[in-house]
Amino acid sequence: MKVHSERPPGSDQRGPFRRFLENRLIGNFDSEDFSDAWKKKFAHAPTWCDADMSLQQINRGKATGNRIALYARAFFQLWLFRIGCFVQRYAWWTILISMILYCLCLGGLQHVVIETDLVKLWVSEGGRLNEEMDYLGQVKHARETGQLNHVHKIKRDIEKATKPATPAPVEAETRRGPELPKENGLGGGFQLMQEIAGYEVHMFNETWTLSDICFKPPGPSFNSGPLAGIMSKLLDKIIPCIWITPVDCYWDGAKALGPNPPLNLGPEVSSFISSLPPGNVTWKNLNPTSVIKEVGALFDLGPIGNFFERAGIDGAYLDRPCIDPLEEECPKSAPNYFDRCAALTNDIFGKKRRKRQAETDGDEATTAATSATKKSAGDSKKDDDYYAYEDDADYINGLGNTTNPKKDAEKEAKNTLCLEYGGSLLKWMQENPNRLGEFLTKEEMPKYPNYGDVMTGGCKGFGKKIMEWPEDLIIGGIERENGKLVSAEALQSVFLRNFTKKLYGHEANKEQRVFHPLASTSIADMLEEFSQFNYMIIVIGYILMVIYAAFTQGRFQGWWLAVQSNVALAIAGVILVTYSSICGLGFATHLGINFNAATTQVVPFLSLGLGIDDMFLLLHNYDEIINICDKNEIGVLLKETGMSVMLTSINNILAFISGYVLPIPALRSFCSQTAILLLFNLIFLMFIFPAMIGIDLRRQRKGKRDLAYCSRGTPQMPASQSVPSNVSNMSSRAELQGYGKQNEEFRRYEPWYTVGGFLNNIYIPALKNNVVKAIILIGTATAVAFGLYGMSTSVLGLELADILPEHTPPAAFLRAREKYFSFYPMFAVLRGNEIDIPHQQQLIEEYRQQLGASKFMIKAEGKLQPYWMSMLRVWLQSLDKALEKDLAAGKFDLTNGNPIKVNGEKPSPESMIAARLVCSFGSTYNCDGRLGKMKMVDQNEIINPEGFYNYLTGWFNVDNMMYYVSQASFYPAPPGWEYNEKTAKVVPPSEPLLYSQMPFYQNDLVDTPAIVKMIEEIRATCEEYTERGLPNYPSGIAFTFWEQYLSLRFNLFMAILIIAAAVFTVISILMFNPWAATLIMCIVVITTIELGGFMGLMGIKMNPISAVTLICAVGIGVEFTAHVELAFLTALGTIDQRLESCLRHMFVPVYHGAISTFLGVVMLIFSEFDFVVTYFFYTMTLLVALGVFNGLCVLPVILTLVGPDPELTPTSGDSVLPPPPPLRQQNAEKEAYGGGGAEGGMRKRKEKKQAEVEMSARDSPSTSSASHSSDEEAPSK
């Protein structure tokens, strides 16, 4: 053997910084303090065991290596060793104090808030959308504090109460079925609507019906008059809830509008107003326009008639076709009304006789027999076949009470006949539709509506000009022929507002769900119900983890657990990880982080799975340490294993912190809480669990059995007599061989059927085979190729139904809606005090038309949905016409605008209001030069800017129903004003509008890519006009929930870039080996690509939730690679020897860690939320599988090909490096070389070395191994 001469200490030139480091990091550990068995372990993996001693060997010239990496390693190992020694000495105190500190965090759990508001969960924090949604609150605050020119950003949730009520869809029901636009489908719809209108809810000691809480636009104003009170009462009662339904195409849509109970104004009013139906008044028989015209001809009702004309109320529902023309209440004005009186009194039965005679061709005997048979049936047959008579006389005689056929009584007889038997006729015709052809010709048959023609293009409410329901809103699954609707699969009705619980249990839904209800509160209610912790599932998951941990750590001796078993440690570890996670959640609550569905459904299991991983690594190495060390065992355990624990835990924490880059509040809460829990688990693994190991160490030294501390085992049992009790624990267990074992090299007892046996006998030999390596590399390349392809095919998307439990009614509604309806409402909001609306009318109209040019915008007959300014303009134009007419008749004083009677007639109410408005401009009232010379709307349809805000006040107060229908939501609202004929006074101007909105309907938003394209298009238009001086922004459901997709890919890229840089930095700092860090990053990137690709191939869409999984994959992927890489980096010998060494050391704990992670997430499959199963269980399971394969198969193969050199290389060229001689011997050598100045510091540290933690004589036999240098060479003299 070649003998190398030692290099004299101090012969190399060291700078001051290096001397500083070495004075503090070298010489803290002495080989004299360790057993021979430990020294043999050091010889194979010196830097893993002790970087300090490795540096000592480098300084002695016995080895060369990466000094910077070893300096860092020595620093961490020194402090980890001190922590271990401390917790071993003060184990009980460490546990007690740690538990007390953890308990302090539990106080936050009493303030837990589970967030269920989708807007607060999903809207990006601090972004454009968040600022837009907070805008109205900011403006209100600024206006109230007088700071409109400097609006401070305040955090405020805008609630619906901040806007005037608008007929936005709050509750909807969807009915599904084949070819619904026919009688059965529509009939079921209006029957359900009638039921809903009659529902009652008992709350707060009151009985509530739909009409009590739904949205109703306020009734128009009346002038004072004899019938003003009656008409006001009538309209207040008769104005219905706003329904958006396909049944509005028909007269039947009036049935659900009520009022309920019907109005009855008494016989006096009904006789006075002939247009009022006698008796009960409902929308089924009311013609409001006729009533208003009749009353308006007698009394002054103000501008109400003008309102009815502009709203297009006309005859309301009376001029619409009946779904069933045989309906008894179907009005005569309906296009397909069936005249029952004509059917009874006309000669239809004689026609029937002649038709039969022609068909029988004179077979009179048969006819007579038939007639005799029918007459003999008498009254018992009458109900079944009313109209089976041969002629009219037979029928008349059968009536009994109509026996006078005289001409002077013919009319009275016909009326009596129709009144008494018309209903029976209709009922019989409904029950016997196949027999109508017996006495009705084709022209006389009931005319059922052509549903396709009627419903093509949509339907209209009771105000035809202001309540248009687009086809895409109310009809889904449409099939067309020549542009006409021929069939549909779904109908949707929207109304305001509750009663969904009754609809859930509707009898039509008992066998198969046909009606799908959804309320605005349904989603929040479902989220609140299912976001609670499912304690049963959590307990079962944790019990499974306890069983697995105990199974892997159990050893049996006879009929009970052996001394060497660690079941108690495993169980306590799982329990304390659970406790640590609970405390972490409490601490997160202290920080103001709210809980959500991801918190309650995912975090407990994910933190458990990731927290248990490193526990297995500590227990695996604990088996070895107790066999090769006789003092400071916990210090040595943390010194050797703590680096790996820190490496993986820190990277996991950084991964979830990087997820904070995604600006989704729910995901930020999830990532923050998980990172906090992982931090708490890291503290537990570095302090509390080592203290528990220290307590268990005392048990083992006393020879007490596991979980039976009163029973002694036989720790000196020879290894050859040990019989393994299960498969998995043999890979991490060895028998205690007595206390002379520290002199022998430690070897695990691993039969072929254990994990360790598989590793030694099959796996390691296979990995050394070049064919196996080639197969692994080819398979990996193929998987990466498929991954890249899968990522290219992945699509954006996360539908609202995905975040709700699958079996719930809201989820069923949303599924049906996504399948059949692609309709979304939106608003274009004009904002800010920089807008000059009166002078920017043309620009506003251009902006609206530009938005309307989008292919996604719905137009009714080629026109956009009317908005507040267009309604204001139409109103002003009607006033201009009325004023022009009365001015020509000389009915106004041109100096003050007061009305003048001409021939006893006053001006019309519209012209009187117009005169007041024309004379008002700003705060001035002046009619000179204005009345008769100017109009409020010019020929270019521009409203006079001078009086714009005066006109706005007038419209807001006089035409207030139109204001509410326009959904303008003005802020600040115009002041109150009422016309006074006696006082010529200015109409007060409204304050400049800081907030107003224009409604639009959008279509073809079938999936996320389409919605994203729409958002990009609309946003571009909004930004263009903002630059042109018209500050604005879009608003609506589509923008609220899909806005983040615009920047999702960029945010995902930035997050992955950040976590990758962080992981690379952490690994480089802890290892100080850039090439090793690069290899780890390569494996992590491969894992991420494979995961993303498989998600795409499995149909898992790209969205913020799946983005979090990909981000976390970078950090969690380190879990499966860093341990192997570090073990390989610290091993000595040939490539194959280093590969074998690292796998023997890390394969088993990594395997158990992967299984524990899987067990942690496997319970997610029982979650009520589909998105938890899809985006967490599936992806995390796939991540674990890919991580195990890439970490234990691909990485070892790559390490054999391009792996980094060992951190330390013996100068002798051997594959082992013995530990340095004791420090006292090294000091002696230095003194021999005259290096007294250098060794003084080393000797001083040796004297001040911390006290060793040894078992007492009572706990363990006194053992003292010979302390001598392991080096073969003697120093030359």
pLDDT digits (tens, 9 = 90+) for 519-541: 545 555 555 655 566 677 778 87
Instruction: Give the pLDDT confidence score for residue 436 in this predicted structure.
Output: 81
Looking at residue 728, what DSSP letter applies? S
Cα–Cα distance measured from residue 60 to residue 1245, given in angstroms and rounded to the nearest whole number: 19
- 830 beta partners: 996, 1032
More confidently predicted of 746 and 1242: 746
**Percent of the chain whose pLDDT exceeds 70:** 73
Categorize the per-residue pLDDT at 1174 as very low, low, confident or very high, splitting at 50, 70 and 90.
Answer: confident
Q: Average pLDDT for residues 921-947, to the nearest whole number?
A: 89
If phi > 0 it is left, if psi is from -120 to 50 it is alpha, else beta; for residue 50 that is beta
> Is it the case that residue 1187 has pLDDT exceeding 70?
yes
Q: What is the pLDDT of residue 25?
A: 86
Residue 356 to residue 811: CA distance in whole angstroms: 58
Using DSSP, state whether 704 is helix, strand or coil: strand
State residue 507's pLDDT score: 52
Nearest to 584 by CA among 935, 190, 226, 103: 103
| Residue that wins the pLDDT comparison between 429 and 523 | 429
pLDDT classification of 1256: cutoffs 50, 70, 90:
very low
pLDDT score at 148: 52
Cα angle: 523, vertex 527, 532; to 5 degrees: 165
Q: What is the mean pLDDT of residues 731-755?
A: 53
Percent share of the chain, pLDDT over 90: 13
**Six-digit token string for 440:** 């009705």
In whole angstroms, give the CA distance from residue 295 to residue 305.
Answer: 10
Lowest mean pLDDT among 69-83, 269-283, 1050-1064: 269-283
> Is the predicted pLDDT of residue 190 greater than 60, yes or no?
no
What number of CA atoms fall less than 13 Å from residue 466's CA on the CB side?
Answer: 28
1174 contacts: CB under 8 Å, gap ≥ 6 = 802, 1100
Are β-strands 63-65 and 1208-1210 bridged in parallel, bridged antiparallel, or unpaired?
antiparallel
Distance CA 1052, CA 1072 (A): 28
Run of H or E residues at 571: helix 567-590
pLDDT band with cut points at 50, 70 and 90 for residue 839 = very high
Range of lowest pLDDT (190-194, 397-401, 423-427): 397-401
| Distant-in-sequence, close-in-space partners of 330: CB < 8 Å, separation ≥ 6 | 251, 322, 324, 336, 337, 338
pLDDT band at 370 (very low <50, low <70, confident <90, very high): very low
Mean pLDDT within 320-340: 87
Q: Is the pTM of this model over 0.75?
A: no
Nearest C-alpha neighbor of 715 from the set 39, 1260, 1256: 1260
Which of 196 and 109 is assigned the larger pLDDT?
109
Helices 67-89 and 689-702 cross at an angle (nearest 10°) of 60
**pLDDT value, residue 387:** 38
pLDDT in tens, 539-565: 887 888 888 888 888 777 767 777 778
Instruction: Tell me the pairing of strands 479-481 and 475-476.
Output: unpaired
Distance CA 205, CA 1016 (A): 50
Question: Would you give the distance in Å from CA 43 to the centre of its chain?
Answer: 55
pLDDT tens digits, residue range 214-244?
Answer: 555 665 555 555 555 666 666 666 677 777 7
Pick the closest to residue 780 from 565, 1046, 1083 (CA basis): 1083
Q: Are the beta carbons of 466 and 874 closer than 8 angstroms?
A: no
Average pLDDT over the chain, rounded to whole?
75
**Chain segment 988-1033, per-residue pLDDT in tens:** 999 999 999 999 888 888 888 888 899 999 999 999 999 999 999 9
**Average pLDDT over every residue of 159-176:** 36
Model confidence at 449: pLDDT above 80:
yes
| pLDDT tens-digit readout, 804-820 | 666 666 677 777 777 77
